[in-house]
Amino acid sequence: MSDLLLARWRRYEWQLLRDPPRAPLTHMALDDALLTAGGGGERPPTLRIWEWAAAAVVIGRFQSVRNEVDLQGAERHQIEIVRRITGGGAMFIEPGNTITYSIYAPAELVSGMSAIESYAFFDTWVLDALATLGVRAWYQPINDITSASGKIGGAAQMRRAGAVLHHVTMSYDIDAAKMLEVLRIGRDKGTTSAARRVDPLRSQTGLPREAIIDQMIATFRERHGLHDSQLSTTEVAATTHLVTSKFATNEWLQALP
Amino acid sequence: MMIKKLHGILTRGLKQARKQQDMMHGEYKVPGGKLVVVDCMIENQRLTNVSLSGDFFLAPDEALEWIVAALEGQPADSGETILAERVRAATASAELLGITAEGVAIAVRRAIAGGAA
């Protein structure tokens, strides 16, 4: 990544949102609301670190619920199914098993880049943070963060009204057996891993999840600058409204049954 | 009354079962890209009830419906080239990432060739 491109980050006063744990539907709605706020200029460019209040399967905008989720498995483990606004694949979330973050930025931050270039650009600081912790990770186009011992995470993007949302989920320590009971990934393809846990970040750093997040924030702060921030009352209201009017509706979740 | 109600339930059940039975399913992993899944039916030698899903990226969201509309009603013996051409025309103003017009066409042909899911 050229220094000239990386210097673009410094054009903005980046805000940090490190929120308390929130319900899966609230997270879906927050991304939608903050992307809109970013495009409207009400919110400066922001890094949001997610904390989950409950387990969930998060499916991509264009995925079919039936194709991705074992509904009986999800019900047995009391796991909620939610649909996000970005494309990409399904993920299995339990509080503490992943590290998830969103970046809301003006589209001009990545102007002139191809979509594939912009994916790698948005996560350069994360690769640096992981390197500081001794994890050699790199970008695998289109949207994967990977390492010698396998995939670490995946990103997804959406552009709307001059703003970009780029969000990423990385595996910290996932219960693979439970995940395979809930997701249909790889079941019929013979790719099912024998591993009981998918724990690239825990096993490769030996650190608690919070320590990794702290390092990520420190790296972002050092490279791009970062000011602490909170959700505004307008943003909270918009989010609450989006939960009931969009994300919790059957129309949205079952858009592709 | 009871019999009429029962008849209604049975007819609905039968219709639903037939619909599921006739639903065809095709998948294609775009090289270097994502999984493209097509479900559809054939009625009077034409594609109907087409749905498209997968872990690809598309913008705007409506582009998904544009693709489905371009496939709906097409002759079931349409070749890959024709189908891909229709999808390409329908998505001329859309952004596709991890999904291609050819990939969609292959998934459709696989659904038809494979028959009922």
pTM (predicted TM-score): 0.92
Mark yes or no for CB contact A88/B64 under 8 Å: no
Instruction: Provide the shortest C-alpha distance from residue B24 to chain A (in Å).
Output: 13
Q: Does the interface predicted TM-score (ipTM) exceed 0.90?
A: yes
Q: Give the pLDDT band (50/70/90) at residue A39.
A: confident
Instruction: Provide the shortest C-alpha distance from residue B61 to chain A (in Å).
Output: 8
Alpha helices in A65-175 (DSSP H): 65-68, 71-76, 115-122, 124-132
A183: pLDDT strictly greater than 50: yes
Tens of pLDDT, residues B35-55: 999 999 999 999 999 999 999
Q: How far is CA A115 from the centre of its chain?
A: 17
Identify each DSSP E strand in A174-219 by its residue range. 174-175, 197-198
Residues of chain A contacting B57 with CB distance shorter than 8 Å: 86-88, 115, 142, 156-157
Q: Give the pLDDT band (50/70/90) at residue A41.
A: confident
Q: Give the pLDDT band (50/70/90) at residue B116.
A: low
Nearest by CB to residue B55, choosing from A87, A115, A116, is A87
For residue A189, CA distances in Å to A59, A74, A123, A186 come to 20, 21, 30, 5
Beta strand pairing call for A56-59 and A80-83: parallel
Mark yes or no for CB contact B55/A61 under 8 Å: no
Beta strand pairing call for B35-43 and B24-29: antiparallel
**Tokens encoding A39:** 């495009």
Tens of pLDDT, residues A91-143: 999 999 999 999 999 999 999 999 999 999 999 999 999 999 999 999 999 99
Counting Cα atoms < 13 Å in the Cβ hemisphere of A105 gives 24
- What's the confidence (pLDDT) of residue A189? 46
Q: Give the pLDDT band (50/70/90) at residue B21.
A: low
Residues of chain A contacting B51 with CB distance shorter than 8 Å: 64, 256
Q: Give the pLDDT band (50/70/90) at residue A174.
A: very high
Query: Span A12-38, mean pLDDT?
Result: 97
| Residue in B closest to A160 by C-alpha | B60
- What's the confidence (pLDDT) of residue A155? 98
Nearest by CB to residue A61, choosing from B33, B52, B61, is B61
Q: Which residues pair with B43 in a beta bridge?
A: B46
What is the percent of chain A with per-residue pLDDT over 90, rounded to a whole number? 89
| Residue with the larger pLDDT of the pair A186 and A136 | A136
A195: pLDDT strictly greater than 70: no
Q: Answer yes or no: are the C-beta atoms of A137 and A145 closer than 8 Å.
A: yes
- What's the confidence (pLDDT) of residue B96? 98
- What's the confidence (pLDDT) of residue B106? 98
Q: Give the pLDDT band (50/70/90) at residue A196.
A: confident
How confident is the prediction for chain A on average, in pLDDT? 94
Tens of pLDDT, residues A218-230: 999 999 999 999 9
- What's the confidence (pLDDT) of residue A110? 96
Query: Span A67-71, mean pLDDT?
Result: 96
Task: List all residues 6 or more positions away from A64 whose beta carbon is below 8 Å from its beta carbon.
Answer: A256, A257, B37, B39, B51, B53
How confident is the prediction for chain B on average, in pLDDT? 90
Return d(Cα A52, Cα A32) in angstroms, integer.
Answer: 17
Q: Is B68 helix (H, G, I), strand (E, B) or coil?
A: helix
DSSP assignments along chain B, one per residue? -HHHHHHHHHHHHHHHHHHHHH-EEEEEE-TTS-EEEEEEEEETTEEEEEEEEES-EEESTTHHHHHHHHHTT-BTT--HHHHHHHHHHHTTTSEEES--HHHHHHHHHHHHHH-B-
Residues of chain B contacting A116 with CB distance shorter than 8 Å: 97
